[in-house]
Structure 1
Amino acid sequence: MLRTFLALTTLLLAAVVAAPVVAQDEPQDRAPPPPPPENVRIDYARVLSAEPVYQTLRATSMVERCEPEAAESPVPDRERRGLSRVVGAVRDVLTPSDEVEEVARSAGGDCRMVPVEREFRRPIGYDVDYVHKGVKYRSRLPYDPGNRVRVRISVTPVVSASGE
Structure 2
Amino acid sequence: MFRARTPITAWLARPLLAAACMLCAANALAQDVEEAAPAQQPENVRVEYAQVLRAEPVFQTLRATSMVERCEASTPVRDDEEHPTGFARVIGAVKGALTPDPKVEEVAPSAGGQCRMVPVEREFRRPIAFDVDYVHRGVKYRSRLPADPGNRLRVRVSVTPVVSGETP
TM-score range, shorter chain: 0.5 to 0.7
- Structure 1 counterpart of 2:139: 135
Residue 115 of structure 1, CA deviation: 0.8
Distance in 2, matches of 1:108 and 1:153, equals: 73
Larger Rg over CA atoms: 1
- Structure 2 counterpart of 1:23: 27
- Structure 2 counterpart of 1:11: 15
The aligned runs of 1:89-100 (5 Å cut-off) are 91=80, 93=82, 99-100=103-104
Residue 32 of structure 1, CA deviation: 7.1
| Structure-2 change in CA distance of 1:49 and 1:24 (3 Å) | same
Q: Which amino acid aligns with 1:49?
A: R
- Structure 1 counterpart of 2:48: 43
Gaps of 5+ in 2: 1-5, 84-100
Residue 54 of structure 1, CA deviation: 0.7
- Does 2:155 match 1:151? yes
1:67 corresponds to which of 72, 82, 94 = 72
Residue 43 of structure 1, CA deviation: 1.9
- RMSD after superposition: 3.8
Q: How many residues align?
A: 143
| Structure-2 change in CA distance of 1:92 and 1:156 (3 Å) | closer
Runs of 4+ in 1 over 6 A off after TM superposition: 31-34
TM-score (norm 2): 0.63
Any idea what the Cα deviations from partners look like across 1:82-109, whole Å, max 9, x if unmatched?
Answer: xxxxxx9x85948xx9733211111100
Distance in 1, matches of 2:11 and 2:46, equals: 70
| Structure-2 change in CA distance of 1:62 and 1:21 (3 Å) | same
Q: Which amino acid aligns with 1:108?
A: G
Residue 10 of structure 1, CA deviation: 4.6
Q: How many percent of aligned residue pairs carry the same amino acid?
A: 61
Residue 63 of structure 1, CA deviation: 0.9
